[in-house]
């Protein structure tokens, strides 16, 4: 029993010495982990600072781009509300008729269905200058209607102020701006759309609407990536959505 007790004591001493070595290793690993934690925290702070610096650079480039090359502005028109004009001409008109006229003014027949638009007839959005505008309600029917009429009409096109030319130019500039913004923001666009899509040959109605849908999808994708307020966006408002995206009031522009 004495010899067995001695052996047990020797084994206990060996275990105790081994436990001490393990404790030292544990403390060493903990110190190493604390150093790594401090380093990761410092690197994370540095990365966050670099992200903020990069966002500021992107924001500065975008604001410079949209102020010098691609300015986007809201152009007011002098059209008056039909409800106001009618109520002034007829004092006996009931309030229900006035409200119905106002509601009709905010409604547009677009692509086979009625679309509600609060800005219809009030404003248009210009790009690169006040002479190149797009209808605010997204109704680009003037373009493909002109293309269809031109197919049946022979002779040179002498209409320099044709709204179809304006729509084509505005969409072309918008496409160029969107593709440039995707490079600056480092955001991959969901739809591939080349800069010359709306230039050159006259597009059929199907091809034109397909290209416009691609452009609108790319613009919305950029807006989502920069956390633009969703209440401001509308799937048909091409330049208005783009204007909200590049606005100096967009807090997360460049993220």
Report which DSSP code applies to 232. Answer: G
Q: Are residues 19 and 117 part of one domain? A: no
Q: Looking at the structure, tell me whether residues 208 and 100 fall in a common domain.
A: yes
Asked if 13 and 139 sit in the same domain, the reply is no
How many of the other CB atoms lie within 10 Å of CB of 238? Answer: 26
DSSP states along 11-56: HHHHHHHHHHHHHHHHHHHHHHHHHHHHHHHHHHHHHHHHHHHHHH
| pLDDT range class, residue 120, cuts 50, 70, 90 | very low
Residues 26, 104: one domain? Answer: no
Indicate whether 30 and 112 sit together in one domain. Answer: no
Residue 160 tokens read as 């320099």
Confidence of residue 44 (pLDDT cuts 50, 70, 90): very high
Q: 4-8, 86-90, 224-228, 240-244: which has the minimum mean pLDDT? A: 86-90
**Which residue's entry shows tokens 């404790």?**
23
Q: How confident is the model at residue 79 (pLDDT cuts 50, 70, 90)?
A: very low
DSSP, res 228 = -
Q: Which domain holds residue 131?
A: 70-75+92-246
Nearest to 76 by CA among 115, 107, 121, 129: 121
Q: Do 119 and 134 touch, CB atoms closer than 8 A?
A: no
Q: Distance between CA 172 and CA 230 in Å, rounded?
A: 25
| DSSP per-residue codes, 112-145 | TEEEE-TTTTTEEEEESSTTSEEETT---HHHHH
Number of domains in the chain: 2
Based on the domain organization, do 22 and 102 belong to the same domain?
no
Residues 153 and 225 in one domain: yes
Predicted model pTM: 0.69
Cβ-based neighbours of 162, under 8 Å, separated by 6 or more: 146
**Is pLDDT at 96 greater than 80 in this prediction?**
no
């Amino acid at each position: 029993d004495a010899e067995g007790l001695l052996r047990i004591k020797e084994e206990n001493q060996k275990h105790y010495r081994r436990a001490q070595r393990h404790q030292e290793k544990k403390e060493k690993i903990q110190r190493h982990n604390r150093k790594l934690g401090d380093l990761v925290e410092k690197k994370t702070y540095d990365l966050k600072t670099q992200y903020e610096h990069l966002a500021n650079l992107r924001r500065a480039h975008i604001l410079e781009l949209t102020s010098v090359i691609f300015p986007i502005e809201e152009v007011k028109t002098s059209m008056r509300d039909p409800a106001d004009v009618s109520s002034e001409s007829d004092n006996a008109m009931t309030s229900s008729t006035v409200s119905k006229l106002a509601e009709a003014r905010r409604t547009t027949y677009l692509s086979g269905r009625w679309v509600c638009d609060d800005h219809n007839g009030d404003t248009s959005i210009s790009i690169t200058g006040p002479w190149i505008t797009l209808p605010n309600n997204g109704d680009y029917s003037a373009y493909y209607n002109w293309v269809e009429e031109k197919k049946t009409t022979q002779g040179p096109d002498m209409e320099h102020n044709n709204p179809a030319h304006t729509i084509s130019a505005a969409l072309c500039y918008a496409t160029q701006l969107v593709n440039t913004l995707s490079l600056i923001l480092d955001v991959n666009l969901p739809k591939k759309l080349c800069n010359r899509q709306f230039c050159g040959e006259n597009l059929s109605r199907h091809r034109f609407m397909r290209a416009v849908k691609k452009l609108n999808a790319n613009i919305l994708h950029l807006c989502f990536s920069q956390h633009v307020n969703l209440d401001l966006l509308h799937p048909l408002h091409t330049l208005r959505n783009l204007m909200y995206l590049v606005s100096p009031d967009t807090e997360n522009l460049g993220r």
